[in-house]
Amino acid sequence: MDKLTEYLNAHREDELHPSEIANLLKDLDEKSFDDAVHSIPKDLIADVALELPDRYFGDIVESFTAEEIAESVSELESDDQTDFIQELEEIDEEKAKKVFEALDEEYQADILQLKRYKDEEAGAYMQTEVYTAKLSQNVHDVIRDFARLRREDELENVTYLFVTDEHEKLHYGVGLDHLLIFDFTKTLAENINENPEQYRPIYATDYDDIDDVVQKFQKYDLASMPIVNAKGRLLGRITSDDILDIINEQATDQMYHLAGLNDDAEEDENIFRAGKLRAVWLSINLITAIVASIVIGLFESTLQSVVALAILMPIVASMGGNAGTQSLTVVVRQLALGDIAKHDAFRTIKKEVLLSLGNGLLFALIMGIIASVWFDKGMLGVVIGLSMIINLLSAGFFGSVVPLLLKRMDVDPAIGSTVVLTTVTDVVGFFSFLGLATLILL
């Protein structure tokens, strides 16, 4: 008996966790996976499909009818429903349409609303299910209504009661830990008015940048945040578990961008798309490598007379590339984390230049000695030492200036900065090394 069946049997009585099922499915090889898919409890199909890495999505939805899928989609919260339909549209538009049409009208309206938002807008991440009450309501009644919704499974993971007026405009956010100690016989307004400042909600609007929302969650240690429209009308909420996912995705994006990769394409089942996008990056890199080679070509006759230069020159370029990547990575990451403030640009550049100058001097000495002993030519050591200093210095300078400049121009500093940097360290490395050699050795 496989582990999934074991798990399902053991938890027949209590709540099943879709993520647990997804984990067990992930550990199966392809054949057992296809068998096991059918033992996923019907009401959890959509939930499990969303929990698995993207490449499994197609296998799962193929194994069930549009009606079965629609049933399970109904169990999801609106943000997940929207994600599901959108992911399904990408691989099978017709089935997506069928599933959508099989949903309740109310769900359809929510999905259509959420789909309008762009990836970077807060609205794209909210769920429309919120626990709301009117200021004039009695606390007792509010809690009674809540109990009913809770029993009908309409609300999950509630931590805040959002208090609105008759136009659905958001006025206050009351943590359940506060609601619990309110005077139940009074109205919300009466309770809140004892200390209204305390209940002023920290909110975002639906078109706000999701990055700003993530920063607010971290700044104010929130568990959930209401989303309103431009007029202050309550539209939905974003919860901390969404934020965890977004933070992970942002970090993945950053790492991938630095290496010339595209997050979406890499998660796709179709490796062709990933290959194509990787090739674009490699093409840009090829051009910069050719530029570096042209620089080397300028010194053809120098290379011909001192072949040791050809042997040593990759060392200068490689050390510059590595030192530059160190500076670049620190600056890109600290910019993303908000650790580099506006007036900090100069301090950051100074720090990076100092660090790389220090290491430049150190490795100039080491490599200078190694080169002069290796090729028994003192002046060769001087040449490689000097060019090492020049190259590491420019690595530190450009490794910090490039991302800072891109950031100032509102371009993602993780994209493209690597390629600019290695072009600089290659060109400066080869040019300084071979140029100095031409001046000093010939």
Show contacts with its own copies in window 56-115 (CB under 8 A).
Answer: none
Of the ranges 67-75, 228-236, 257-265, 401-409, which one interacts with its own copies (CB under 8 A)? Answer: 257-265
Q: Which is nearer to its own copies, 73 or 313 (CB)?
A: 313
Cβ atoms of 412 and 350 closer than 8 Å: no
Does 365 engage in binding with its own copies (CB under 8 A)?
Answer: no
The reply on whether position 282 binds its own copies by CB under 8 A is yes
Judge contact between 432 and 295, C-beta under 8 A: no
Of the residues 93, 106, 339, 373, which one makes contact with its own copies according to CB under 8 A: 339
How far is it, in rounded angstroms, from Cα 199 to Cα 180? 14
Q: Does 29 bind its own copies (CB under 8 A)?
A: yes
Q: Is 35 in the site for its own copies (CB under 8 A)?
A: no
Residue from the set 117, 252, 435, 441 that interacts with its own copies by CB under 8 A: 252
Question: Residues 355, 421, 428, 437: which binds its own copies (CB under 8 A)?
Answer: 355
- CA 265 to chain centroid, in Å, comes to 14
Sequence-distant contacts of 177-185: CB under 8 A, at least 24 apart: 179/139, 179/142, 179/143, 182/139, 183/139, 184/138, 184/139, 184/140, 184/143, 185/138, 185/139, 185/140
Closer to its own copies by Cβ: residue 72 or 356: 356
Residue 118 CA neighbour count, 13 Å, CB half: 7
Under rule CB under 8 A, residue 255 binds its own copies: yes
Interface segment toward its own copies; rule CB under 8 A; list 35-43, 81-89, 162-170, 316-324: 316-324
Does residue number 158 form part of the binding site for its own copies (CB under 8 A)? yes
Map residue 9 onto helix, strand or coil. Answer: helix
Which two structure tokens, joined as six digits, stand for 218?
A: 């971290």
Rounded to the nearest 10°, the torsion over CA 392, 395, 401, 406 is: -170
- Looking at 278, 365, 377, 435, which residue binds its own copies (CB under 8 A)? 278
Q: Which among 62-70, 81-89, 230-238, 275-283 is the span making contact with its own copies, rule CB under 8 A?
A: 275-283
Tell me which residues in 180-209 interact with its own copies (CB under 8 A): 180-181, 197-198, 200
